């Protein structure tokens, strides 16, 4: 009897999540999600961060993308492409691990990518993040070398990684502005937190496109300044990569999962006392 009861509860929960997908999420995802976001790359999975992926996971993702007949393209090609086989690989936060682990793999496979930087932390420890101590941001020479490869382009991810929906208007303007000497045309929202005001500030700062993840407001996903990306995280494996890359009947599970994991991200900001 107890087993039957447990089964009924689980079945109801799954059905509720499916309904949530059909009613609230799917209507806003008429186009497939063709861009992907990586945060930090590590050699071994850490217990403290769901957003890390291991180097092996990263290699697995690339293999699955190739096996699915998809093509990694650069930012400009991605924005102008109508071919659903063209996909975009992005990295948020601009951590040194991108240079150390991802860049050699990108070079070897000739894969273009976009790195979204935190201007105020170039070459510095990631003290904006509670897990920060050992994490360091890309240095100027590393950025230069990656740029010179012709494979990696850079976008902005704000200056200091605040929740842009909770800062003053002046702070919002200064967080999204891009210095003229390294004008960047794409922006990604810290903690996936954005609203119409944030999007409008990003447009006014001169960006041509904006990228989010899947935890923000679905009604904004159709905007060119809120292009949804599938985050890759430590709970991913070859099977979930396949779903994320190829779509199909189980995609709703991955979208809901990404949404739930993403909802936890802004706690980092609260933990830090909203700098
Ligand atoms: Zn970030």
The range of the structural domain enclosing residue 16 comes to 1-30
Which pLDDT value is given to residue 143?
A: 95
User: pLDDT tens-digit profile of 95-153?
Assistant: 999 999 999 999 999 999 999 999 888 888 887 776 655 789 999 999 999 999 999 99
Parallel, antiparallel, or unpaired for β 113-117 and 41-42? unpaired
CA of 157 to the centre of ligand 1 (A): 7
Matching residue, tokens 């494979």: 151
Which pLDDT value is given to residue 34?
A: 95
Number of structural domains in the chain: 2
Q: Are residues 141 and 249 in the same domain?
A: yes
CA of 266 to the centre of ligand 1 (A): 10
Q: Are residues 115 and 101 in the same domain?
A: yes
Instruction: Write the CATH number for 199.
Output: 3.20.20.370
CA of 210 to the centre of ligand 1 (A): 14
Parallel, antiparallel, or unpaired for β 152-156 and 53-54? unpaired
Q: Are residues 138 and 20 in the same domain?
A: no
208, 257 in Cβ contact below 8 A?
Answer: no
Phi, psi of 153 (to 5 degrees): -115, 160
CA of 93 to the centre of ligand 1 (A): 5
User: pLDDT tens-digit profile of 150-172?
Assistant: 999 999 999 999 999 999 999 99
CA of 139 to the centre of ligand 1 (A): 17
User: pLDDT tens-digit profile of 35-45?
Assistant: 999 999 999 87
Which pLDDT value is given to residue 270?
A: 65
Q: Are residues 47 and 16 in the same domain?
A: no
Which pLDDT value is given to residue 181?
A: 61
CA of 63 to the centre of ligand 1 (A): 25
CA of 132 to the centre of ligand 1 (A): 12
Q: How far is CA 163 from CA 38, 109, 157, 159, 198, in A?
A: 19, 35, 11, 11, 10
Q: Are residues 168 and 245 in the same domain?
A: yes
Q: Are residues 77 and 6 in the same domain?
A: no
Q: Are residues 90 and 203 in the same domain?
A: yes
Mean pLDDT of 258-270: 79
Q: Are residues 202 and 114 in the same domain?
A: yes
CA of 67 to the centre of ligand 1 (A): 29
CA of 15 to the centre of ligand 1 (A): 32
Radius of gyration of the chain (CA): 19
Q: Measuring CA to CA, which residue among 274, 245, 242 is closest to residue 130?
A: 274
Distance, CA of 74 to CA of 66 (rounded, Å): 16
Mean pLDDT of 16-30: 89
pTM over 0.95: no
User: Per residue, what are the HEC states of the chain?
Assistant: CHHHHHHHHHHHHHHHHHHHHHHHHHHHCCCCCCEEEECCEECCCCCCCCCCEEHHHHHHHHHHHHHCCCEECCHHHHHHCCCCCEEEEEEECCEHHHHHHHHHHHHHHCCCEEEEECHHHCCCECCCCCCHHHCEECCHHHHHHHHHCCCEEEEECCCCCCCHHHCCHHHHHHHHCCCHHHCCCEEECHHHCCCHHHHHHHHHCCCCEEEECCCCCHHHCCCCCCEECEECCCCCCHHHHHHHHHCCCCHHHHHHHHHHHHHCCCHHHHHCCCC
Distance, CA of 241 to CA of 87 (rounded, Å): 13
Q: Are residues 23 and 151 in the same domain?
A: no
CA of 11 to the centre of ligand 1 (A): 35
Q: Are residues 199 and 250 in the same domain?
A: yes
Q: How far is CA 71 from CA 8, 144, 187, 208, in A?
A: 43, 25, 22, 22
Q: Are residues 106 and 13 in the same domain?
A: no
Q: Are residues 23 and 36 in the same domain?
A: no
């Amino acid at each position: 009897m107890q087993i039957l009861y447990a089964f009924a509860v689980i079945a109801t929960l799954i059905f509720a999540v499916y309904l949530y997908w059909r009613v609230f999420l799917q209507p806003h995802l008429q186009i497939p999600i063709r861009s992907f976001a990586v945060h930090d790359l590590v050699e071994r999975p850490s217990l403290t961060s769901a957003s890390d992926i291991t180097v092996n996971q990263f290699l697995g993702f690339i293999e699955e993308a190739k096996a699915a007949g998809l093509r990694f393209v650069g930012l400009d090609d991605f924005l102008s492409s109508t071919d659903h086989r063209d996909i975009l690989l992005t990295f948020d936060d601009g951590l040194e691990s991108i240079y150390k682990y991802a860049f050699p793999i990108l070079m070897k496979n000739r894969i273009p990518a976009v790195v979204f930087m935190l201007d105020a932390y170039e070459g510095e420890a990631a003290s904006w993040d509670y897990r920060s101590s050992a994490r360091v941001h890309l240095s100027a020479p590393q950025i230069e070398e990656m740029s010179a490869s012709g494979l990696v382009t850079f976008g902005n991810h704000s200056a200091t990684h605040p929740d842009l929906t909770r800062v003053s208007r002046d702070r919002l303007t200064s967080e999204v502005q891009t210095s003229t000497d390294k004008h960047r045309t794409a922006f990604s929202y810290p903690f996936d937190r954005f609203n119409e005001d944030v999007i409008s500030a990003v447009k006014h700062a001169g960006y041509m496109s904006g990228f989010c993840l899947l935890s923000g407001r679905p009604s904004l996903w159709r905007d060119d300044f809120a292009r949804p990306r599938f985050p890759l995280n430590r709970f991913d494996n070859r099977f979930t990569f396949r779903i994320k890359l190829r779509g199909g009947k189980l995609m709703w599970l991955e979208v809901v999962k990404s949404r739930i994991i993403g909802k936890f991200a802004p706690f980092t900001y609260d933990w830090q006392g909203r700098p």
